[in-house]
Structure 1
Amino acid sequence: MATYKKRGYKPKKEKVTQEVEETFDETQSTTAEVFNTLDETANKSEQWIEKNSKPLFYGLITVAALILLYLGYNKFIAEPTQKEASNELAHPRVLFDEAMNSAGAKADSLFNLALIGGVNGKYGFTDIADKFSGTKAGNLANYYAGVSYLKMKKYEEAIEYLGSFSSDDAILGPTALGAIGDAFADINQPEDALEYYEKAANKKDNQFTTPLFLFKAAQIAMDLKKYSKAESLYTTIKEKYADSDQGRDIEKYINSAKYAQ
């Protein structure tokens, strides 16, 4: 007997359509909720801004004023002061350079003039360091003052001014620390001298100051009978700075430290 399908009987399609409609309705509902949340957040933000409009306005004015003050300070105070300090520093530096090329009483006299100034109303290093502290020239005046006092064998003053100097320059930074080490060595404070020589050696790695202060540190370590430390410092010169002045005959120093132990 033949079989047939009744027309119009599609229960599965109706079920799928119902599921799609339900899914669509859920999606619509979720989207609506998201937009409602966004609207609420926006409204709250607007209300907060309206409520705090005056503090926000005054805050912006304050920030703008601070920026203008900073720019004005640099333009009309910091830059002119720095220029004035640099100009003042030129005179004692001439005396300093002349003193470095002199000896004895003449050198001391020139260093003293460079320190205290007074010639034709010019400032000396100590005046510049004090009056223009915070400027590059004022900072540099501390270095020159410290070295001047060191050359005059006024070690406490040298340590004070050199300690007030700071620099990341590859030569000046280590040299200032090494000069403090020299001052401590000259007043028979070898532990302090060793500390500053090592600081100087580690400040900026280069082929000039690093081996120089490693060598000075090693010599102080030998005086302190810290032979193992001295050997290590000498060996570092051999391994890393063999072409430096200190590296040329370093083997004999290594052996002296080794056999002293």
Structure 2
Amino acid sequence: MATYKKRGYKPKNKAEEVEQVEENSTTAEVFNTLDEGASRTEEWVAANQKYILGGVALIAIVILGYLGFQKFIQEPKEQEAANEMFKAQQYFDLAVNGNSTVKDSIYNLALNGGEGKYGFLEIIENYGGTKAANLANYYAGFAYLNTNKYQEAINYLDEFKSDDEMLGPLALGGIGDAFSQLGQLDEALGYYEKAAKAKDNNFTTPKFLLKAGITAISLNKPAIAIQYLERVKEEFPKSVEANQVDVHLGKASAMQ
């Protein structure tokens, strides 16, 4: 076992003298190795200094370029797109809440523009990559869905991407509605299931669980229907959908 020896310690015998020589030799070897490693590192840095500085400069340019793009190009573009879309959103709200006899015409204004203002389709085309263009896909999808243009609805709603508590599930459910209207019930069921799972809340979850259950009944899948309908009844008893569950549960149970 090694023992501590004070500085200036003199060996008492030949064996200790040999041990001290070996220790000093090992220590010197360690420091020599460290010195050689440091020298090689310094030599490599010196030899590649031009490339290192170039790499650092390139990273700095990329970062500054990104920040400049966001500040001077993307942010103004986002603001302009939001301003341009305001009128189209007004048309959309008017169509949803207004007179049903003229709603198709108003949805058309929302899609294609009016009064010298862009519609959703032009926002998507001219402001790609902005939040407004993404949201315009959502509005355009539902405008097409509400005017019975189901494939167009699917196309635009599928382009909409969002983690929003409401809009994300509603877009998925809208695709399900479009597929249902096209008679493609398997696809509709899949999207209703996605919509129900996307977010857990008291509005969209029971809404699309009920639609999934009804669609499963139409597909002659009573076990799946019962599973979804019972979830509405047990997990969302105060929801509007819960009042409709018993009728559909009766149909599903009779099919088994």
RMSD across aligned positions (CA): 1.7
Counterpart amino acid of 1:205? D
Q: Which residue of 2 aligns with 1:10?
A: none
Structure 1 residue 93 displacement after superposition? 0.5
Counterpart amino acid of 1:195? G
Structure 1 residue 57 displacement after superposition? 1.1
Structure 1 residue 131 displacement after superposition? 1.1
Q: 2:69 aligns with which of 73, 76, 84?
A: 73
Q: Which residue of 1 aligns with 2:224?
A: 229
Q: 1:27 aligns with which of 7, 11, 23?
A: 23
**Contact 2:85-2:123 at 8 Å conserved across structures:** yes
Q: Count the aligned residue pairs.
A: 247
| Structure 2 unaligned residues grouped into runs of 5+ | 1-9
Q: Which residue of 1 aligns with 2:141?
A: 146
Structure 1 residue 238 displacement after superposition? 2.5
Q: Which residue of 1 aligns with 2:5?
A: none
Q: 2:78 aligns with which of 82, 87, 96?
A: 82
Q: Which residue of 2 aligns with 1:117?
A: 113
| Structure 1 unaligned residues grouped into runs of 5+ | 1-13
Paired with 2:130 and 2:11, the residues of 1 have a C-alpha distance of 85
State which drifts further: 14-23 or 89-98. 14-23
Determine what percentage of the aligned residue pairs are the same residue.
48
Is 1:103 aligned with 2:99?
yes
Q: Which residue of 2 aligns with 1:126?
A: 121
Counterpart amino acid of 2:77? T
Offset from partner CA, 1:189-242 (integer Å, 9 cap, x none) = 111110110110011111110111010011000001001110111122223222
SS in structure 2 of the partner of residue 247 of structure 1: helix
Q: Aligned runs of 1:1-261 on 2, under 5 Å?
A: 17-119=13-115, 121-261=116-256
Structure 1 residue 61 displacement after superposition? 1.0
Counterpart amino acid of 1:197? Y
SS in structure 1 of the partner of residue 237 of structure 2: coil
TM-score (norm 1): 0.90
Paired with 2:64 and 2:167, the residues of 1 have a C-alpha distance of 35
**Contact 2:210-2:245 at 8 Å conserved across structures:** no
TM-score (norm 2): 0.92
Pick closer, same or farther for the CA change 1:127–1:29 going to 2, 3 Å.
same
**Contact 2:11-2:17 at 8 Å conserved across structures:** no
Paired with 1:239 and 1:148, the residues of 2 have a C-alpha distance of 34
